[in-house]
Structure 1
Amino acid sequence: MRAQEITFLKLIQGDKQFQVPLYQRTYSWGREQLQRLWEDVGELVEQHLAGETAAPHFLGSVVLAPGQLQAGGVQRWLVVDGQQRLTTLMLAFAALRDHLKEMGDTRGVDRVHRQILVNEFHEGADHYRLLPTQADREAFTACVQSRADAGGSDNIGAAYRFFRGVLAEVHEAGDERWPAAVETVLKDLLSIVEITAEPGDNVYRIFESINNTGVGLSQSDLLRNYVFMLLPKRGERIYQELWLPMQQSLGPKNLELLVWLDLVVRGHYKTKQSEIYREQQKRLQPLAGDEDALQREIEQLAERAGRFLRIVDPAREQCPALRTALERLASWGGQTHYPLALHLLDLVAAGRTTPEDAAEALGYVESYLVRRLICQTPTSNLNRIFMEAPKELETDRPAAEAVRRFLSGRRRRWPSDEELREAIRSKPFYWSGRPPQRAFILRRLEESYDASEPVDFAKAALTVEHILPQRPAPQWFALLAEETEENQTPQELHDLLVHTLGNLTLTGDNAKLSNHPFERKQQIFDSSALRMNLEIASAQRWGKAEILARADRLAERAIKLWPGPIGGVKPAGEDSPGWAELRAALVAMPSGTWTTYGDVAELIGSHPVAVGAYLGSNPTVFGAYRVLTAEGRISPSFRWAEGEDRPAPQDLLTSEGVRFDSWGRARRSQRLNAAELATLLGKDVAQQVSYDPLPEGEDPAAAERFRSQLKQHWPEAYPGVLAALDFWRRQGGYVTYGRYEETSCFPMLDTGTSRSPQVLWPFGIYPVSGSIEVVFQYLKSRTPFDDTEQRRELLNRLNKIDGIDLPEAKLELRPSFPVTVFAQHSERICEVLDWFVGAAALELARRA
């Protein structure tokens, strides 16, 4: 084998084709890996545009084995390892080419397509520079060919859509130089080690050895070995007295994190965690031969370890104010604040500030994070902001003032009081951040009532409750009908209000509250120990007016709890975070789907009219034609940008796979609602506990409620559903039920091992609403259905049954079909269940 470091452009130059063997897994990179790559590309682009000399970014290795060479044909290479990187870069170039096409850069389009994506003078399979596994091939070639169905629901389509989205965002920012700089970086500034096997080498054995190499040394392991190599005389004593106690108190992961934070607070804020060893080695190399200086370095690191432990475990902090501030940030979760918190503790230790001043500074950090979450400000640059802080803080003023001034910077987006008030009234708070963060905000708001007997939150098992329910009974819609606007349905008003902060509270009685009428909820809230719930119980009714009034009251409390930036007003000319989220949502939509102005409004906390006005004045927004009226029709006011020669919107949607009836209405099953759009954006779209499987097993009372509800609402489907559940039990499965008023039902199957337990369920049955929800979103993270092809097979088998029409674009979501299908086709559904159990059993046998 031979190895050489090479750029991507040089790797693929010539008449070559890289073939991914059948034994390789399908393309699996997700948003996290794509985002990390794009951040690295973005840094290189900025350096390139600034005229700085940018060192190539090492992307990893690609192991190739020679394939067959036909006379006059392409040189084939088998991709033994590195197919994820190669596929990702090809998809990035496909997205870049299509972005250049929209910009009107025909030369750029031609250059990228011919130079990177295809072998220009070859046809058929030889035409493509990369040929993925057969399962990925159709989706990949759709992107290379720039077909209408490019950007489907699988990982290939998601990666293509990701790059289309980030390029569109850069275009919206107005820097026309970026696309050319991105092309340069992708071609020439991403370094790859090409490892080439010789003819006759056992390719599969090479693949096996590369992917079964055991656990390598961590960055902190490498640093430890290097440091103690430089300490031949004192090494053993220093290890026993300093390094080993530090290592034992922190543990391996936190030790590595500390070594990285040590660099960041010293000002090396661009250092990635994968580069810790190299950067620390570079810093310490001049001290080689000076054991006194090296000992001082380790002593300083050990002291910093003690301070870092107080961030991870705030109970160790002695100052009450500082301990409270650290506890709140620990409850918030995540590591974003670590660099700034460690820097502040360093200042306290050095006597350059007081613990109380550091506590006030951390209070501003909490405010900054909370306000951004409530206002749904994009988090893409959040880590970078906090990594820059230690170096950028002004040193000639108190730490708290310096932190507030730093976070108030224009490009750091600390929402003003005005923005906070509006967000609390309109944004779907229930989809913001993570569940612990939502609960943290509600808890802090409750504590602001200063109750004489406050709730012990550590012991109370509280969850977030929707006062106006997510699935309301008819009485609720009758109440909402009194407050709807012209041409607005009660359902549409419900959707705009239900997830806002004014409609949410904390309770330990979630199961009791369910979707009962407000009068019943009042009785339960009236006995609550929480002051905010007693306030809700005092209301006479619960509709739009009450929700917005409560939102305004909570906003005033929030403004006092979490002070805003210096200046306190939104900078003029800044784009609303809602419009950025709208653009991201339209990019995230798989081909073959559509949505409505109301769905987008619900997602971003706006109004359908405002969404229509924005898209009308910005017709170049990617995917704007996918937003239709509530009936699924093209809006009469939709227009392409002037001079843009594109097909009619309905024709374009049809070419992507959206089906229309003879009245021009798009098929309802292909519509993405607001919750589905939020899921595609990576939001934590939590469901009520009743709509997830419960571990209690087949509770007789719950089973009887389910059967009673099903028989009452869908008597024609009742025998078929029960027959299918009996069949499921005979196949080795069992059934669980929900605890809420609508008693949902889940056919469950244990498919894990004693070491790795796992449960599968194909769908949930809702006996009142009459829907069967196919849980592709959950199956995606469970073998064998983490393979897209297995989920697609489940979808195709179900779609062969009359009355079921699940769109392929929802292979990562939870589409549904009517329970009435069981009335005529229970046996056909049992056949699908039999296949489902067999697929799970085959995977279990493979792992045994």
Structure 2
Amino acid sequence: MKANAQPLQEILYSNAQFLIPFFQRSYSWERDNWERLGNDIQALLSEDQEKKHFLGPLVCALVSAAPGKTPQYQLIDGQQRLTTLSLLLTALRDEARRAGEEEFAAEIEEQYLVNRFKKGLERYKLVPRTGDRELFSALIDLKKVEDQDAKLIVAHDFFRKFIRTHAHQDSSYLRRLFDTVVGRLYLVAITLDEEDPYEIFESLNSTGLPLQESDLIRNFLFMQIPLADQEDFQQESWAPFEDEFEPSAGEVAIAPTAFYRDFLMRRGQYSKARETFSDFKKYFEKTKSSPAESVAELHRFVEFAKNIANHGKGLPAKVAAVLRQFAWMEANTANPVMLNLLDQRTSGSISDEDFIGCVSDLNSFILRRSICGESTRAYGKWFCELAGELTGNVREKLQGYLLHRGWPDDETFERSLASFPIYRREFKKCRIVLEALERADGHKELVDLSDGIQIEHVMPQKLPGGAAGKSWKEMLGDRYKKVHERWLHTIGNLTLTGYNQTLSNRAFDEKKKELCESRLTLNKIFGQTDKWDEQRITQRAAALCPQVSKLWPRPSSDIEYTPPTKKTDGTNMVRERRKQYWAALTEMLANSAVNLRPVRKSEVRTCEFFLPMADVSLAARLDPNKKQLVLQLRFSRSRGREMFAGLNADRDAIDEQFTTQPIWEPSSKPTITWVLNGFAIRDRYDWLEHHSWLTKTLTEFEHGLLGRLRSLHEAVKDKSATKQAMLEYWIGFHTRMFERGCELLATTPLPQQWNNLAIGKSGVWTYAHIKPPESQVSAWLIMSTAISPVFFPQLEANKGQIESEFGHQLEWQKDGLKQWRIGITRSGVSFEDREQWPAQHDWIIDQLTNFDRVFRDRVQMFEKAEPVDSAE
């Protein structure tokens, strides 16, 4: 065996050919692998040119080296690396061709991708296994590929976008990238002599499939054991533990990787699914346990996991009952909490009563939020965080945390449950609710799933034909279709019965007879009514919903709770990505011939472009649900509608100016829209394509539409000269804000004496005000009627500090006003003298900027509170 570290150019530049044998798996690298390689290359490009980067081994066996023939090597290990590098070089060749650098493209192809003077398969430097081979050769030969979702094709597309993104403003990038890839990326080439390639491959990767996180954990633990002791470790520790994952008859199997992740998070340390092995290694090293001690701990917790999955089998009846309810809540993300509680119960830290109370609270939280339509997206991190809180008074801590996260109260829950289609949306929860209602008031013999009891729709799921259907329609009334659709799957129309198949779609009179013969308490009500219509369904729901609230209660909101302190940089990744997206657009526009610019670098889905006009706005908008990037010109009020009508009259001529066909939508608020489909912001290597489309469309907008729009705007005047002047005043104010790069968010200019601005808090805003008769301009912070009595005194209590930060004495006005306000006024100005307007605008902008600086953080800290009694 020979081993030698070689740069990629020495491996591929030769006339050798590398064959991937059939027993290798297909190409399987994912985006994470491609991005890591791309990041490593970018790091090399920015560092010392002598630095090398080792990618790992390339194990190959010589197959043929006959004179006059291409030397052939079988790739035993490293095929994913070499295939990826070949795809990167193919993408680089294609981008060089796109840039018009044909000689450079030919250099890449003829030296690193093909053997120029060979034919057939001998032509290719790398020959993947069958299945990948056809796709790979099509990429090399620039042929059309039908399967655009194949891994090889997706990888090639990724690298093209990666290269294009970094090269669009750097003419030397393609060559520098090429030199770095072939000259500074190294592989340890290991050439085998006599060994059997298949046996070697088996020893390197016995399955031919990516190892699971649980496999890596097992291998890691065995690596900590001396070879002579591994058999004893296997028999005494590992095998009994691993057997727990093989379910007995009638039991639910435990997924090993999911179990390890839940185990790691039981103390509040979040672990990403793909980092379970990495986090386990850290945990093992931190605890300083031996492999046998670690497995003993794992064995103890896997028993708890089996308790959860198998409804508390073998545990006391009341403990098993709440575990069964938990299983039917379908909230596996709460398993770390359950492992923690079961561990504390077993150790005696909490009693069975406390355990039952905690799990009941958890079930109530999950059930109530589900019925109220609350999001579950954050549950993974919430429940992990909760698991780390369970010390001291465990139940009080648990209740406090759940209340903090939004545990719906009785009124909200009951109102939602009455109309919630629980059977269709949450079947398992529906079953457990009906069973619990029956257990609470029913026959001594408890209902159980194994009893053959089923859920029955009293008003049938499908209204039958014939006499039975006629009977139902008459009973439900003229609105029978709407009544059936709205109330069919709700709690008021559902019960339990053993006669489901026979009852089915019968008329109510027949159903009633058999339901009344049932021993279930839930069905007693049917003996007290002669009809079943919307009124009876809602009346029954009104009776049942409070009972469900009592079965899954919520504690009062006065439990004291201090949220855990989070170590975070405060970054919201989605908002940060949007901000970077719009910043990249702004940079591209700055380097283009387009004059239009974003009003500000926003972190929301919309980016508005500055137009010095009223009643018309231009904005780009991200619509991830429809996978669209939208540029839209929106018109408002009568002035805007007149402008739209003027443009629409010249529609055919305008349409010819655009590559992307505009969509014209006349309405009370008409729009003209341009759409790029197949859009996704998540992949930053798609941004260049998006921004190029936007830049091109904005260029066409400036050339083909903006001039017409300006002319129409100037032609449409307000009937009142004063109002027209006010409108022009605020348009000038917006223009000045834009010129100064001010990022304050102001509302659209209107012909009135004020212009509002947002400060990031509902019910609080700033505004600028002109008073021509009094020769005054002013700037204000204003609070709505509902919150003024609460928040104004909080600010006024710090009046001295606030005015010191502001740099000027302020006016604090509340007497006789519904909306209390804090402001500053400048007198002796002239509204009629337009030459004064720029100075007035600058003064207003300075004051509003001060208001934003001094008050923004303060108003964000306002909490919801009841108004203070004025008598106090």
TM band (smaller chain): 0.3 to 0.5
Larger Rg: 2
User: What TM-score, normalized to structure 2?
Assistant: 0.42
User: What TM-score, normalized to structure 1?
Assistant: 0.43
Which of 1 and 2 has higher RCO (CA within 8 Å, sep 6+)? Answer: 1
